Amino acid sequence: MKMQLYYTATIQEYRQFEHLIWIRLVAPSLARTARPGQFAMISQRQTHSLDPLPRSAVFFAGADPNSGTLELLIDPRDPTLTRLVDLPEGTILDLGVPSVNTCTINPTTQTLLLAGVGSTLPALLFLARRYAGKLNVSLLMAGDDGFVPPPFLLPATVEVQISSTGASALFDLLTTTTDQNPLRWADQIVLGLPSLFVSRAASLIRTTRLRWDHGLVQVILAGSLPCGLGICRVCQIETRQGWQRRCVEGPVFDLRDLRLPA
């Protein structure tokens, strides 16, 4: 099992954008190592132990090693995140941060397409912010009205398209009939999806790209992560390497490695 690392973080700022909650944490050592696609198992307990009490799994939305801060973006409708709602500034949190597979951008990539929904959107925001100004980055987001991250959280160099008519509207953004279809031109694609959307995304890529090589498409898989340690195996998904756990071998997978329904 990969090593579980624990950190203490303090809420520095707590704000609400429409219905979403944005939290900035002070955690200097973690801010230096945090990567897009990484998540934390969060609780208010300050005892660094593998306790069985519930923790909330949250993807990082950003990290600034210079200021020693991390950012979270939370949908308060998620029942697993209610314990993080309405926390006062100064609250001390305990973060369990597994060593997991995170997003990897190839050195030859020049155009990067990011597209996703739901709980993975913070991870895509993190990735967009990290490569803004270095690559040509496009970010497509879909969700319910008021629950899609506001574009002003992103640098102006990131091209953003948003649909607030539900998660499935992401595929409308991805299936434009013009020559500018983003699936055609991207050097690399990172998707943030629940498992029920993965087959549909794979089918769309097969019909859009002339070639689909290994490494072209990564997917950050959303879904329940009850323990974050790989013990409960609730988060398993079938891959070409066998059954793997999102909280240990994931949450980022190469889309070609997933075994999808025919």
On the question of pLDDT at 3 being above 70, the answer is: no
Cα–Cα dist 104/241, whole Å: 19
To the nearest whole percent, how much of the chain has pLDDT over 70? Answer: 93
Provide the pLDDT for residue 221. 94
H-assigned helices in 112-153 = 121-131
CATH class label, 111-257 = alpha beta
List, in sequence order, every beta strand (DSSP E) within 18-68.
Answer: 20-26, 39-43, 56-64
- Give Cα 211 to chain centroid, integer Å: 26
On the question of pLDDT at 180 being above 50, the answer is: yes
Residue 79, classed as helix, strand or coil, is: helix
Provide the pLDDT for residue 218. 97
Nearest to 190 by CA among 120, 97, 100: 120
Cis ω for the linkage preceding 149 (within 30 of 0):
no
The domain ranges of the chain are 4-98, 111-257
Least confident of 85-89, 113-117, 147-151: 147-151
Q: Tell me which of 3.50.50.60, 2.40.30.10, 3.40.50.720, 1.10.10.10 is the CATH number of domain 4-98.
A: 2.40.30.10
Segment 34-58 mean pLDDT:
76
At 114, the amino acid letter reads L
- The DSSP code for 88 is P
pTM: 0.92
Banded pLDDT at 154 (limits 50, 70, 90): confident
Instruction: Give the Cβ contact number of residue 206 at 10 Å.
Output: 9
Residue 69, classed as helix, strand or coil, is: strand
Are 90 and 11 in contact, with CB atoms under 8 Å apart? yes
Burial group, residue 85, by CB count within 10 angstroms (0-12, 13-18, 19+)? middle
Residue 234, classed as helix, strand or coil, is: coil
Provide the pLDDT for residue 178. 56
